[in-house]
Every structure is written in structure tokens, then in C-alpha cells.
Amino acid sequence: MTIEIGQIAPDFSAKDQNGETITLSQFKGKKVVLYFYPRDATPGCTAQACDLRDNYQALLDQGYVVLGVSTDTEKKHQNFIAKYNLPFPLIADTEKEVHELYGTWQLKKFMGRESMGTVRTTFIIDENGVISDVISKVKTKAHAEQILK
């Protein structure tokens, strides 16, 4: 499934790092940064999360809610958040249900080998639940700049 600018963002219900249920619809009326990343505590994913953390106030000032999504467990998310002092929730999509909704679980090639994995992608969702931007070429060290452009 391909998500495109102008379409309604698929709603979902998933658990965050604390086992609390998060739904996209609970953020109706707010802008949402929904970012999918491969794995907690890897160099690129850490750079991306820390860039969003370092620019979190600017994102809040622009009316954004930030939600990270990976296939890691709640416990791994708790450790990642604690180690890097991340101020936003991380969704533990261990069954890949949210990934499937947004088309971010795909066949990837790395060093000549193919495997299924998360394609790093960020969806910007407006106050009405409509996709206003899709960032597929994520700059992990300058991601907030891409969002706030």
C-alpha cells in the first residue's frame, strides 16, 4: 500500500513503550509527525531520534505531536528513551500492523542480500487527519529541519 499526500491517514491502535494504547485519531486537531525507523539504538536511528529530541520544542511550537514507530519491543523502547532522554512516545509495532497500514514494511536489499524490513519514512499528518507530506529521503541528522521547512 502506498500512502500519498492528500489522502486520509490510516487510523491505528498500538501500544507505546509503557503498554499504553495510542491511536492516531486521539490526535485529531493536532499535526502529527509519524516517523517509521528500523531499530532502536542503531547509529542512524539514534541520530534521527536525537535530532527530533533536540528540536522538540520547535516542533511543539509549530503544533506537532511526534510519534516514533519501529518493530522493537516496549522494553527496548523504554531503554532507548531512557538512554537518550527522548520526550516523545515510541510505538512498539512488533506485529508490523502499523507498518503494513503505511506501507513501510518492504523487501530491502543490503550488501547483495534481500530481507524484509522497515523503510525509513516520515508522514506529516495535518489537523484533519490528512497526509500533508511524506518524507522518504530522511536526513537522520537534520530530520526536524525537513519537517519544519
SS3 63: coil
- Angstrom distance (rounded) from CA 37 to CA 3: 16
As a whole number of angstroms, the longest Cα–Cα distance in the chain is: 44
The set of cell numbers assigned to 35 is 516517523
Catalytic (active site) residue 45: yes
Catalytic residue, chosen from 14, 33, 45, 124, is 45
Tell me the Ramachandran region of residue 68: left when phi exceeds 0, alpha when psi lies from -120 to 50, beta otherwise.
Answer: beta
What grid cell was written down for 12?
491505528
Instruction: Give the three cell numbers for residue 76.
Output: 527496548
Q: How far apart are CA 97 and CA 22, in angstroms?
A: 13
Alpha carbon distance 49, 81 (integer Å): 9
- Active-site residue set: 45
